[in-house]
Structure 1
């Protein structure tokens, strides 16, 4: 069948050859099946089979250690599929194990985020860079022509100056020669006159010698003494041209400016993935600024501790009392809910579905709020839950501490079931301090970020719980004490950290490199943080009881 002249053929069963719109698929045998032929195919007990829907083909793996089992789980720490029997082995003890299809979806989510970032952000930047290079090439050629013309003009000017100087040297030489020639001619005339007098005197002496007249001979006066007194000797130095070594440093030939081809960081403003409509209309922000200030009653009751966005128009807050409060961005109190136990909530979190959760330290519970009804979702015993965040896969990450053992850990919950414990690094050392406030957030690449006031650090691990980096603040000569409290992430996978006593926000990238501050003149004792879908930052100020909405450059 000619693929260019016909429609695509339908999928056909490999057993009966019949067509079906949605066949089944044996992942082990790599065979399309219709419902009628499934039984016949599975009756072949000489082979293993993995029957799935066509859309799930390629998701079945045979366990490498237990060849009779199909891998339906995935160990994130070991990074390979396992079967249910593998879990009982020591090598997977304490590892984060997840349903293989759910793990696949999580990894696809990360891949989609990477693809979206490449297509919408990175690739356009490189295209713009390539365009700029072409422009630079054109400018380089144009500049070359301009500079060559300037150099040649300067060369002609230099030749003209040199010719003028040579002509002046020749004129000076002629003038010197004329002056010396005059002196020589005068001397020559003087010598000729004396020579004439000497010749006359010789003739007179010869006549006297021949004369017999005593009176004439006696009257002779000798002039020999006069003639022996010679005229001054003329010492003459002839003009000589002395050429000088050409020193290019002293000759003003001109010079070319130093060529610069340094590489610098690009500063393109990119759109936020997933926010096409808003980010295309959003102006470029050079300096972060406060858009809104919302006054809450938490400042009056002792301090505002946490904030979480319900949507782009409403925020939940909690402070030192037992009240959960919902505010509009106009500052109106929309709803107030008392905690189930009457205790102060330690932290709040709004899920992507808009559900509100809060932790209760004294009651050791994690609670879900549905309208005004509160349901206890998780109840712990020896460990106390403090801070919580919802993940992109729908799980919860909860920070728990144990006063008795002086330990802190992060636990992943799916519903009320514990799935993963993160507590130690590869060397068996504790990742988190045993004291001080802590906050938690999941990044777009599924890293788990914890701000740890007890150690004045931000600890970031990957989804499997392996340590990626520890942030202790930017390089500084003064070494200000870093006091991290609230933490959140934005659509660019940047991590934002509230620096409580320094009254500012640190912005670092997903690999822990410091990018910039949101400076202290805008903030007072920042505590809780969250971002909305447009990457606007919400900061809960502990002592003022204000929530500030800040637009910053991402």
Structure 2
């Protein structure tokens, strides 16, 4: 039985516990002092291997020969699938003329490799992992404080902006008050002289009524007509503050935009998969749709598909139909499956619908806009392409929960990123969080970063074999960040790198009117053939 002791323990003899033993049994893996060696060996001298303590575990323990009992295999036969053999085996007819390697030399070489690997892992690789782990742990520890600071910063900024608006409106109200006061005083100044004249007339009439002078009474002329109709009364209503009814999302866009975290990967390894010279079709699922539009893979491995009918079908990986979900009668414009295996779809209305365990609910409704294609992001948000009710504007909206969090519609110059119409605009999120949109009407793949900033636009690759205009329909990305889009009219797939550089076509296999596309975890590509209703599984990497 081996003697286990930690770095802080003192090695002791297994028999008498004497510290710092001088010997070691390489067969039994125990520490021994000189006095206990004889006791340990006993009568089995040939069995035990006693070595100096500093050379412990240096004696090779060879495997037993299966053919020759009590002989150890000290050689490896290179002609027999590297089989271990003993000396007697090397001289047998079975191994005549074969080439042998001494296991001692092979073990020595392997030991050197092990030591080199150990040194690399211990002194080069492991410290990197420690540094990464420490950095991540520090980020987690500091996360609450960072978010508290961010919350305080934007709250203070918003308060300053709102306070400035309030101050400006208070000043406007003060100016209105001064004008109001000036108007009232002006009217008062017009009334006062007439009132004073009326008061004097009353005094005069009272005196005349008590007078007995005939001449004064006879000379009286009535002035009542002058006072009977008072001047117009000025009625000035108090100012009112009418709060403008602004949607929360609209108000949020006016006040500022909260952009989610961005992710960048350092030391990303080179692509683990290479593109095949010729892709091949591994499997075909006959979906039964006369016109097949979209397909999406779930985390469980099932494939959801939809066409131009009021249902969505779920197929197992072997192509067997597992279940069917009915819509409200309209055919789905777009489908997606979230991390909880719930099906989400749009069906021509202003709402997104979710189906989980057979229960349907509306996720959110968009006023003045109609959602079409959609995808689920790596953090569980929805990205939805949509067009306005008048079909002259298009945009991408990020939805988290039931709330619109981000709108992507214009570039930095205020120009539309996408063609303004109701044509399909399939979209997907790449591994670097770029948002890739296949704008079929514009004949372009438009890519923006997570914040919605324009990155590049791909409008096709010049090729003498592609005679029709580039019209990308479906779009997806793989584990290496490559972008794959279906060229519907030229019956092929374009593959780009994550920076928009053209890599190759998938065009040497039969694809008829490719529409929706998706990729599974093993980088198998699924392509919807629109007119035939087939869903083809394609291997394009190695």
TM-score, length-scaled by structure 2: 0.54
Task: Give the secondary structure class of the aligned counterpart of 2:452.
Answer: coil
Residue 443 (structure 2) aligned to one of 453, 456, 463: 456
Deviation at 1:413, TM superposition (A): 0.7
Residue 400 (structure 2) aligned to one of 389, 410, 414: 414
Please give the alpha-carbon distance, in whole angstroms, between the structure 1 residues aligned to 2:517 and 2:146: 45
Alignment match, 2:151: 72
Please give the alpha-carbon distance, in whole angstroms, between the structure 2 residues aligned to 1:311 and 1:549: 17
Alignment match, 2:156: 85
Counting only pairs closer than 5 Å after superposition, residues 104-503 of structure 1 correspond to structure 2 as 107=263, 110-111=264-265, 114-115=266-267, 117-118=268-269, 122=270, 270-271=271-272, 285-299=276-290, 303-311=291-299, 313-339=301-327, 341-361=328-348, 363-404=349-390, 406-435=392-421, 436-476=423-463, 480-503=468-491
> Is the contact made by 1:60 and 1:71 (CA closer than 8 Å) also made in structure 2?
no
Deviation at 1:375, TM superposition (A): 1.0
What CA RMSD, in Å, does the superposition of the two structures yield over aligned residues? 2.9
Question: Which has the higher mean CA deviation after the structures are superposed, 90-99 or 453-462?
Answer: 90-99
> Is the contact made by 2:158 and 2:255 (CA closer than 8 Å) also made in structure 1?
no
Please give the alpha-carbon distance, in whole angstroms, between the structure 2 residues aligned to 1:545 and 1:465: 35
Q: Aligned pair in 2 of structure 1 residues 59, 403: CA closer, same or farther (>3 Å)?
A: same
> Is the contact made by 1:304 and 1:546 (CA closer than 8 Å) also made in structure 2?
yes
1:448-492 deviations in whole A, cap 9, x for unaligned? 000001110010000010000000011346764101000000000
> Is the contact made by 2:289 and 2:307 (CA closer than 8 Å) also made in structure 1?
yes
Please give the alpha-carbon distance, in whole angstroms, between the structure 2 residues aligned to 1:399 and 1:317: 19
> Is the contact made by 1:298 and 1:319 (CA closer than 8 Å) also made in structure 2?
yes
> Is the contact made by 1:94 and 1:420 (CA closer than 8 Å) also made in structure 2?
no
Task: Give the secondary structure class of the aligned counterpart of 1:59.
Answer: helix
Please give the alpha-carbon distance, in whole angstroms, between the structure 1 residues aligned to 2:411 and 2:487: 25
Deviation at 1:522, TM superposition (A): 2.0
TM-score, length-scaled by structure 1: 0.53
> Is the contact made by 1:437 and 1:453 (CA closer than 8 Å) also made in structure 2?
yes
Q: Which has the larger radius of gyration?
A: 1
Deviation at 1:374, TM superposition (A): 1.0
Residue 58 (structure 1) aligned to one of 138, 142, 151: 142
Deviation at 1:360, TM superposition (A): 1.8
Residue 510 (structure 1) aligned to one of 491, 498, 504: 498
Task: Give the secondary structure class of the aligned counterpart of 2:367.
Answer: coil
Q: Aligned pair in 2 of structure 1 residues 353, 62: CA closer, same or farther (>3 Å)?
A: closer
Q: Which runs of 5+ in 2 are unaligned?
A: 1-5, 9-136, 163-251
Deviation at 1:409, TM superposition (A): 0.4
Matched, 1:524 2:515: no
Please give the alpha-carbon distance, in whole angstroms, between the structure 1 residues aligned to 2:370 and 2:417: 17
Please give the alpha-carbon distance, in whole angstroms, between the structure 1 residues aligned to 2:282 and 2:445: 28
Q: Aligned pair in 2 of structure 1 residues 98, 87: CA closer, same or farther (>3 Å)?
A: farther
Task: Give the secondary structure class of the aligned counterpart of 1:538.
Answer: strand
Please give the alpha-carbon distance, in whole angstroms, between the structure 2 residues aligned to 1:329 and 1:56: 39
Q: Aligned pair in 2 of structure 1 residues 520, 378: CA closer, same or farther (>3 Å)?
A: farther
> Is the contact made by 1:504 and 1:526 (CA closer than 8 Å) also made in structure 2?
yes
> Is the contact made by 2:279 and 2:509 (CA closer than 8 Å) also made in structure 1?
no
Alignment match, 1:159: none
Please give the alpha-carbon distance, in whole angstroms, between the structure 1 residues aligned to 2:523 and 2:256: 34
Question: Which has the higher mean CA deviation after the structures are superposed, 505-514 or 352-361?
Answer: 352-361
Task: Give the secondary structure class of the aligned counterpart of 1:473.
Answer: coil
Please give the alpha-carbon distance, in whole angstroms, between the structure 1 residues aligned to 2:139 and 2:300: 36
Residue 538 (structure 1) aligned to one of 501, 513, 526: 526
Counting only pairs closer than 5 Å after superposition, residues 90-105 of structure 1 correspond to structure 2 as 93=254, 96-98=257-259, 103=261
Alignment match, 1:40: none
Q: Aligned pair in 2 of structure 1 residues 271, 55: CA closer, same or farther (>3 Å)?
A: closer
Q: Aligned pair in 2 of structure 1 residues 536, 379: CA closer, same or farther (>3 Å)?
A: same
Q: Aligned pair in 2 of structure 1 residues 489, 394: CA closer, same or farther (>3 Å)?
A: same
